[in-house]
Amino acid sequence: MTTAATSLKLPRGLKSRIEKLARRSGESPHAVMVRALAEHVDAAELRQGFLDDAARTDVAMQESGTGYRMEGVHTYIAAKARGQTVKRPRPVRWRK
């Protein structure tokens, strides 16, 4: 892996917290910061992907005039979370 040097100015309190965490975990402060930044970027990219998918789905729903009843979706998700086998809700036309 190639690396690029950067300078990061931290508030004293945050730097102290990172150093304490690093000592307790047996890592260097640098490793803690790199891991934290990587996890944050991963989460932000995942969230952005979710928002992009939602926007595409909304466009498709607007164009097709079909969607899913909220109650059916909630029932389906709750059953799946309980580990139950359940049929997917059927799409309905909401626009004529």
Q: For the chain, what are the domain ranges?
A: 12-64, 66-96
The per-residue pLDDT for 17 is: 98
The confidence band for 56, taking pLDDT boundaries of 50, 70 and 90, is: very high
Strand ranges for the chain from DSSP E = 66-67, 92-93
The arithmetic mean of pLDDT across residues 75-92, rounded, is 96
Task: Return the closest-CA partner of residue 33 out of 71, 6, 72.
Answer: 6
8-state DSSP, 94: -
The per-residue pLDDT for 1 is: 79
pLDDT for 94 beyond 90: no
